[in-house]
């Protein structure tokens, strides 16, 4: 295992890159609405983005095998910086759909480089903490990017140029400072059945998380705007969700490193479903209530991907990290490809409040499926559960999760069996 400090250049590059990506997603949604694009077309832009994500997951692993992590990162980041400028040079809904497909392809390859690199540098004892730090970097930089919206406004050329600059700057830490580049895999044979066999729970989780998180990030700004929020409050609404995700990333990662990740997944997913229900039925149009709901929703929903990925990588063998990153990204993009379009259709047909009803139902489905799978393959002793609940009682923030969470033995250093 490498130290976190040795991964700092990679994390810095990831943060700059993700700031540009997050800002681009929100900007495209708001600018598209301003240009008169329909909700359906805006939803298709999200679908196109994750369709590109899906295609990239099939081929990016071969690219990494051929030329290595750093060269793939450099090529894709430079390409994305250039294509970002085309949005403002060619304002047309169908052109933007094509550009979002290319953006999805490029960002998926970049995320595959980053995540396989981090998993190669960690082990079962600290994997979720490392991924949580990555997600905290992600969410912190994305939050900063969102705050540029009210400063510069969505009109004109400026924000597109800033996004292009950010994507270009992400190359600097990787190119000049990093010395931890992992070896490319000797062979990569993309196989979804093989990835599914490693961890069915993680694969199903990535599909569900793709449906919900992509909907929040890409259609969430439209939900907030439909409730009467101005550009500044829309940016604040999205930022509160992201900040909430950053707050619980590390505590949940720590818990899942110490105890059974599946129980932490269940409790966190139920928390996300409850927060979505609050936004759908209780927050109304009050700005403060909506911001609080977004914070709680992000706190539980955004850590789900890193928890699922850590659960799967615990069961991976050496040399399988790139394959697993590609497979989980494919399953995530499968859900994310259909998620925004369904969300946009639900809002159009049933009103804005139905947006979070849909998200809560999807989260609830995953929580129930994980409970069923866990009891089908039990692996934790009762005494560990009692010990874990006692620990949970010491944390006021997580106390309500205590009765739903079940630990795994910290003494077992071996790879878990591929049964979940």
- Whether the per-residue pLDDT at 206 is higher than 60: the answer is yes
Tell me how far apart the alpha carbons of residues 408 and 258 are, in angstroms, rounded to a whole number.
Answer: 7
Going along the chain from its start, the domains and CATH numbers come out as 5-178+190-404 (1.20.1250.20)
Tell me how far apart the alpha carbons of residues 377 and 380 are, in angstroms, rounded to a whole number.
Answer: 10
Tell me how far apart the alpha carbons of residues 278 and 142 are, in angstroms, rounded to a whole number.
Answer: 24
pTM above 0.95, yes or no: no
| Confidence bin at 361 (pLDDT 50/70/90) | very high
Tell me how far apart the alpha carbons of residues 320 and 194 are, in angstroms, rounded to a whole number.
Answer: 10
Tell me how far apart the alpha carbons of residues 52 and 171 are, in angstroms, rounded to a whole number.
Answer: 22
- For position 365, what pLDDT does the model report? 92
CA angle 198, 299, 273 (to 5 degrees): 75
| Confidence bin at 76 (pLDDT 50/70/90) | very high
Least confident of 16-20, 131-135, 302-306: 131-135
């Amino acid at each position: 295992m490498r130290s976190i400090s040795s991964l700092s250049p990679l994390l810095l590059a990831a943060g700059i890159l993700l700031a540009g990506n997050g800002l681009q997603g929100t900007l495209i949604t708001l600018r598209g609405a301003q240009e008169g694009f329909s909700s359906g077309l805006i939803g298709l832009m999200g679908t196109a983005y994750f369709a590109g994500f899906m295609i990239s997951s099939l081929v990016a692993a071969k690219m990494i095998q051929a030329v290595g992590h750093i060269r793939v990162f450099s090529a894709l980041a430079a390409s994305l910086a250039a294509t970002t400028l085309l949005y403002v040079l060619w304002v047309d809904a169908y052109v933007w759909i094509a550009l979002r497909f290319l953006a999805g392809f490029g960002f998926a390859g970049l995320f595959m480089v980053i995540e396989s690199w981090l998993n190669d540098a960690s082990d079962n004892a600290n994997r979720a903490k490392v991924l949580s730090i990555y997600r905290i970097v992600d969410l912190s930089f994305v939050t900063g990017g969102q705050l540029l919206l009210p400063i510069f406004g969505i009109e004109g050329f400026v924000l597109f140029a800033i996004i292009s600059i950010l994507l270009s700057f992400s190359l600097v830490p990787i190119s000049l400072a990093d010395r931890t580049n992992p070896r490319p895999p000797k062979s990569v044979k993309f196989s979804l059945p093989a990835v599914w066999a490693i961890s069915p729970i993680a694969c199903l989780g990535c599909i569900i998380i793709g449906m919900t998180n992509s909907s929040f990030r890409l259609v969430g700004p439209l939900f907030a705007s439909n409730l009467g929020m101005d550009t500044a409050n829309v940016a604040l609404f999205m930022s509160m969700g992201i900040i909430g995700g950053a707050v619980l990333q590390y505590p949940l990662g720590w818990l899942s490193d110490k105890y059974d990740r599946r129980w932490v997944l269940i409790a966190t997913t139920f928390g996300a479903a409850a927060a979505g229900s609050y936004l759908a039925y209780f927050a109304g149009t009050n700005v403060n209530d909506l911001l609080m709901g977004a914070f709680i929703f992000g706190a539980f929903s955004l850590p789900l991907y890193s928890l699922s990925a850590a659960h799967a990588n615990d069961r991976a063998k050496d040399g399988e990290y790139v394959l697993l990153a590609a497979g989980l990204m494919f399953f995530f993009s499968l859900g994310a490809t259909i998620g925004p379009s369904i969300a946009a259709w639900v809002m159009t047909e049933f009103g804005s409040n139905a947006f979070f009803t849909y998200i809560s139902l999807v989260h609830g489905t995953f929580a129930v499926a994980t409970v069923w799978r866990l009891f089908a393959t039990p692996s934790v002793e009762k005494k560990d559960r009692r010990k874990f609940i006692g620990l949970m009682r010491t944390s006021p923030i997580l106390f309500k999760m205590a009765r739903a969470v079940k630990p795994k033995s910290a003494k077992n250093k071996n790879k878990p069996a591929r049964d979940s």
